[in-house]
Amino acid sequence: MTTNEPVALSFRDNVDLMVDHAIRIMGLEEGMGNALKACNTVLQVSFPVEIDGKPEMFTGWRAVHSDHRLPSKGGIRYAPEVNQEEVEALAALMTYKCAIVDVPYGGSKGGLCIDPRKYTRSQLESITRRFARELANKGFLSPAKNVPAPDMGTGQREMGWMADTYRQLFPDDINYIGCVTGKPVGYGGVRGRNEATGRGVQYAMREYFRHFDVVKEAGLTPGLGGKRIIIQGLGNVGYHAALFLSTEDNCLITAVIERDGALINPDGLNIHDVHEHMIEHGGVKGFPGAKYVEDGASVLEHDCDILIPAALEGVIHGDNAEGIKAKLVVEAANGPITYEADAILQKRGVEIIPDAYCNAGGVIVSYFEWIRNLAHVRFGRIEKRFHETRGAHIISAIELATNTPVPDWVRKEIVRGADEFDLVRSGLDDTMRLAFQEMVEVRRTNHQVRDLRMAAYVIAIEKISRSYLDIGY
Ligand code: NAD
């Protein structure tokens, strides 16, 4: 039977179309373009785990899009709708993301087809440990070659189980703890990793608002403070981004869109309270002090200054892109805007901070965690006391020279040596700022590049193709 229904593009098609566009702008030869886009390897595993006394089958994937740098890096997602194409698209995004923010990794991604909410903690532990064994035995989990991290549906707990499974399999590997990142701090994790992606989104937005000309061109008023924000998804990324933006930058989170509907409050929602409510009740419905709307997706089109999709891919598409009111869309999730919607938003002058840059905070801090694991020492451990003593000497010298006591708050700031949290946040902030400046510069100087997404891809493709030319494919 034939039909005239348009064929919906997959997530992978959408990513490839955006990359093709960048390749055309750069005039890259076809062979190089194909080498860049190809996904090197995909592993599919199916395995049984005993659930309530009966074997149940699970299927998962780990895709390695590139290994021009090793290890290849990328999260593992637990979701019922996960599939090979999605994992391949996410692995490709990881390649570009790492290149944009100068993290020396190849791109990879994993997924397990499962609804984690349907299983107990101990069942999830058995499933995760078995999945980790499958990956490790086939060379897809290792501190040298392939290092997973959390993504949708996974977190510190799952990463801890994976690291421990790897340790049991390879007890002679002195760097075993670096086989995954995003682990609990007590088990090889780094302080600041859990919040890193949301924190990176905040740093990206702060940097955006430091560029007055760019802000003005998008039709926004200067300053992040007071901006009305709608956020979709209050999970790891969305919760931290919304919490920091509302409590540290005075933004108003006027709507939160979740799985079971949306909450609206023009005066701004208390994100901590909404999150507590979600933990207690499993959704946003019933939260006091806000209007509840059952059709959450419709709220994407409500009036606001900034829209932050932080849940899943393809939520802004050909059918709703015309209705988006935000002047700035911040892609905290991976692939929330389809290729078609991207073109519509561009035409309407809506600025987009692209996913490949915007949510790179996770991999940046994962990189710090991996370095910490290979060095076997916590950041700041060696030099903290030295800096504190030096700070105290500087204060004494100032007081001696001026004959005036230094105010307590200044003393505290100067004397305090940086701990791991400070160093991680500082490294993250610096990386996000530099990468944004690079994107703005490319858009300013290359007249074929009109938007930040193309700027990000041009930067990434230039770096990756250079490395292919240097060392071969
Ligand atoms: P998460 O599982 O912690 O949170 C996802 C949230 O989205 C949950 O609160 C869930 O209830 C909500 N959600 C699910 N379906 C929804 C729907 N239809 N409408 C509204 N809300 C819905 O996942 P996360 O780790 O926060 O990841 C979110 C996005 O960020 C994903 O695209 C992921 O790939 C991307 N990302 C995550 C990280 C990371 O470090 N966790 C890093 C980079 C990118």
3-state secondary structure 51-78: ECCEEEEEEEEEEECCCCCCCEEEEEEE
Where in the sequence numbering do the catalytic residues fall?
A: 109
Strands 106-113 and 72-79: parallel
What's the rounded Cα separation, in Å, for the pair 247 and 123?
37
234: which residues sit within 8 A by CB, 6+ positions away? 242, 256, 258, 271, 274, 275, 278, 284, 310
Give the Å distance between the CA of 224 and the centre of ligand 1.
24
Q: Do both 164 and 262 map to the same domain?
A: no
Query: Is any atom of ligand 1 closer than 6 Å to the C-beta of 198?
Result: no
Q: Do both 354 and 223 map to the same domain?
A: yes
Query: Is any atom of ligand 1 closer than 6 Å to the C-beta of 257?
Result: yes
Please state the atom number of ligand 1 nearest to the C-alpha of residue 312: 32
DSSP 10: P
Please state the atom number of ligand 1 nearest to the C-alpha of residue 235: 4
Q: Do both 210 and 245 map to the same domain?
A: yes
Q: Do both 300 and 244 map to the same domain?
A: yes
Give the Å distance between the CA of 111 and the centre of ligand 1.
14
Residue 442 within a domain = no
Residue nearest to atom 5 of ligand 1 (CA): 235
Q: Do both 403 and 278 map to the same domain?
A: no
CATH code of the domain containing 153: 3.40.50.10860
CATH code of the domain containing 200: 3.40.50.720
Query: What is the domain range of residue 387?
Result: 381-417
Helix (H, G, I), strand (E, B) or coil at 17: helix
Helix (H, G, I), strand (E, B) or coil at 118: helix
Query: Is any atom of ligand 1 closer than 6 Å to the C-beta of 162?
Result: no
Give the Å distance between the CA of 416 and the centre of ligand 1.
36
The closest of 151, 146, 28, 145 to 461, measured between CA atoms, is: 28
* Buried/exposed 446-470: b ≥16 CB within 10 Å, e otherwise: eeebebbbbbbbbbbbeebbeeeee
Q: Do both 152 and 221 map to the same domain?
A: no
Q: Do both 214 and 119 map to the same domain?
A: no
Q: Do both 222 and 307 map to the same domain?
A: yes
Residue 203 within a domain = yes
Most informative mutation of 90, 237, 368 for ligand 1 (most atoms within 8 A of CB):
237
Q: Which of 187, 206, 231 is the last residue of a domain?
A: 187
> Into how many domains does the chain fold?
3
Residue 376 within a domain = no
Q: Do both 78 and 159 map to the same domain?
A: yes
Please state the atom number of ligand 1 nearest to the C-alpha of residue 334: 32
Q: Do both 339 and 247 map to the same domain?
A: yes
Q: Do both 246 and 131 map to the same domain?
A: no
pLDDT reported for residue 30: 86
Q: Do both 344 and 253 map to the same domain?
A: yes
- Judge contact between 42 and 63, C-beta under 8 A: yes
Q: What is the pLDDT along the chain (473 residues), one digit of tens a residue?
A: 445 555 678 888 888 888 999 999 999 888 888 888 999 999 999 999 999 999 999 999 999 999 989 999 999 999 999 999 999 999 999 999 999 999 999 999 999 999 999 999 999 999 999 999 999 999 999 999 999 999 999 999 999 999 999 999 999 999 999 999 999 999 999 999 999 999 999 999 999 999 999 999 999 999 999 999 999 999 999 999 999 999 999 999 999 999 999 999 999 999 999 999 999 999 999 999 899 999 999 999 999 999 999 999 999 999 999 999 999 999 999 999 999 999 999 999 999 999 999 999 999 999 999 999 999 998 888 888 889 999 999 999 999 999 999 999 999 888 888 889 999 999 999 999 999 999 999 999 999 999 999 999 999 999 999 888 777 66
Residue 11 within a domain = no
473: which residues sit within 8 A by CB, 6+ positions away? 35
What's the rounded Cα separation, in Å, for the pair 255 and 334?
20
Residue 447 within a domain = no
Residue 368 within a domain = no
Most informative mutation of 93, 156, 279, 312 for ligand 1 (most atoms within 8 A of CB):
312
Query: Is any atom of ligand 1 closer than 6 Å to the C-beta of 334?
Result: yes
Q: Which of 417, 433, 463 is the last residue of a domain?
A: 417
